[in-house]
C-alpha cells in the first residue's frame, strides 16, 4: 500500500511540475533570485516595422515597340522581360532586402514563354501534388501568377536607401549587340526580323536569362519621410563586367553625380510605380503566437 501512495504522490508532483513549466516562465531578477512569472501576462514580441509601405509596379515601357498582330495594330513590347526589385543601402554599401519578382508583361509577350512554363508547372503539380490553400480560394489567379504589389519596411529610413529594379531578358547574345535596336530607330522590315529572332530565342533558350538594364530611385527624403513623388532614374544598360551586387552598390553611390552617370548607356524607356504608406499594422496581440494564453 505504501508503494501505491508514493506512486500517487510522484504523479501529483510530476503534473504540478509540468503545469508550472508550461504556465510560468522562470526569470532572473537583478539580485540574482529566480522568480516565476505567469506567461499569460507576458506579451509576445512586438515587431517594429519602422516605415512600412506598399509598392505597386504599374508599367515598364521601352521606346522600341511594334504592332504584334498586324501592321495597323496597337504598339506593344516585342519580348518578355523578367523583372525584380530590391532595397539597397548606399551609405552602408549593402543590399537590405530579398528580391521581389514582379510581372509587367502583356499577355502576348508572356505567351512566348508560357508554353515552357506551363509544362514545368504541370510537372511540379503532378510530382508533389500541389493544392490551393483554402485561404487563397477566390483569389484571382492573376494576383498569384503575375504579382505586381509588394509590402516593404525599413527600420531606419534615410535618403541613401534606394529601390533598385533589375531587368532581364531571354538569352540572345552580348548586351552591347542586343541593346542596339533599343537605341536607334529601325525600319519595319528590321522589326519583323527582330520579332522572328526573339520568338526563336524564346522557344530554344527560354530557360536562360541575361541581364539587360537597371534603374533606381531614392525611397526617403532628407528628413527621413517616405518619398512618394520621385521618379526612377533612366534605365541604364547592364555593363558586361559590372553585373554583381557590389557593382550595383558602387553605381548607387554615384547615382547623384551626373559626371559619373553620363558615362553609362541609357536605354530609352521608363518604369512607373506607385508607393503608398501603410500607417496601420496588425498588433502582435491580434496575431497567432505559440505563447500560452489562458
Per-residue confidence (pLDDT) for residue 109, from 0 to 100: 87
Same domain, 147 and 11: no
Indicate the length of the chain as a whole number: 294
Same domain, 78 and 183: yes
Per-residue confidence (pLDDT) for residue 292, from 0 to 100: 38
Q: CA 219: distance to chain centroid?
A: 15
- Whether 264 is in a domain gets the answer yes
- Whether 292 is in a domain gets the answer no
181-204: per-residue pLDDT in tens?
999 988 888 888 998 999 999 989
Distance between CA 217 and CA 162 in Å, rounded? 5
Per-residue confidence (pLDDT) for residue 206, from 0 to 100: 86
Q: How much is the pTM? A: 0.75
Phi, psi of 290 (to 5 degrees): -90, 5
Do residues 275 and 228 touch, judged by C-beta distance below 8 A? yes
Distance between CA 94 and CA 98 in Å, rounded? 12
Angle of helix 188-205 relative to helix 107-128, nearest 10 degrees? 0
Domain count, the chain: 2
Same domain, 216 and 169: yes
Same domain, 198 and 163: yes
- Whether 293 is in a domain gets the answer no
Same domain, 16 and 75: no
- Whether 285 is in a domain gets the answer no
What stretches in the chain show pLDDT beneath 50?
1-6, 23, 120-121, 123-125, 127-128, 284-294
Per-residue confidence (pLDDT) for residue 291, from 0 to 100: 39
Same domain, 26 and 57: no
> Domain range for residue 15?
2-42
Amino acid at each position: 500500500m505504501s508503494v501505491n501512495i508514493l506512486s500517487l504522490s510522484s504523479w501529483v508532483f510530476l503534473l504540478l511540475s509540468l503545469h508550472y513549466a508550461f504556465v510560468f516562465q522562470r526569470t532572473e531578477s537583478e539580485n540574482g533570485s529566480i522568480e516565476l512569472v505567469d506567461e499569460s501576462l507576458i506579451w509576445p514580441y512586438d515587431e517594429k516595422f519602422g516605415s512600412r509601405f506598399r509598392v505597386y509596379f504599374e508599367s515598364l515601357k521601352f521606346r522600341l515597340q511594334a504592332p504584334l498582330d498586324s501592321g495597323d495594330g496597337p504598339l506593344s513590347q516585342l519580348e518578355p522581360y523578367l523583372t525584380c526589385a530590391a532595397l539597397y543601402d548606399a551609405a552602408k554599401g549593402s543590399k537590405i532586402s530579398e528580391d521581389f519578382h514582379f510581372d509587367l508583361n502583356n499577355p502576348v509577350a508572356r505567351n512566348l514563354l508560357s508554353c515552357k512554363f506551363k509544362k514545368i508547372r504541370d510537372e511540379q503539380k503532378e510530382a508533389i501534388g500541389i493544392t490551393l490553400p483554402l485561404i487563397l480560394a477566390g483569389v484571382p489567379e492573376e494576383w498569384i501568377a503575375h504579382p505586381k504589389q509588394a509590402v516593404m519596411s525599413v527600420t531606419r529610413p534615410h535618403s541613401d536607401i534606394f529601390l533598385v529594379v533589375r531587368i532581364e531578358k531571354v538569352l540572345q547574345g552580348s548586351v552591347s549587340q542586343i541593346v542596339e535596336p533599343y537605341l536607334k530607330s529601325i525600319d519595319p522590315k528590321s522589326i519583323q526580323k527582330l520579332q522572328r529572332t526573339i520568338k526563336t530565342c524564346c522557344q530554344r533558350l527560354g530557360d536562360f536569362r541575361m541581364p539587360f538594364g537597371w534603374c533606381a530611385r531614392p525611397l526617403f527624403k532628407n528628413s527621413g519621410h517616405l518619398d512618394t513623388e520621385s521618379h526612377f532614374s533612366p534605365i541604364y544598360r547592364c555593363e558586361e563586367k559590372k553585373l554583381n551586387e557590389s557593382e550595383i552598390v558602387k553605381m548607387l553611390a554615384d547615382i547623384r553625380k551626373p559626371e559619373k552617370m553620363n558615362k553609362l548607356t541609357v536605354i530609352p524607356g521608363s518604369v512607373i510605380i506607385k508607393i503608398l504608406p501603410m500607417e496601420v499594422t496588425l498588433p502582435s496581440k491580434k496575431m497567432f503566437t505559440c505563447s500560452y494564453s489562458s
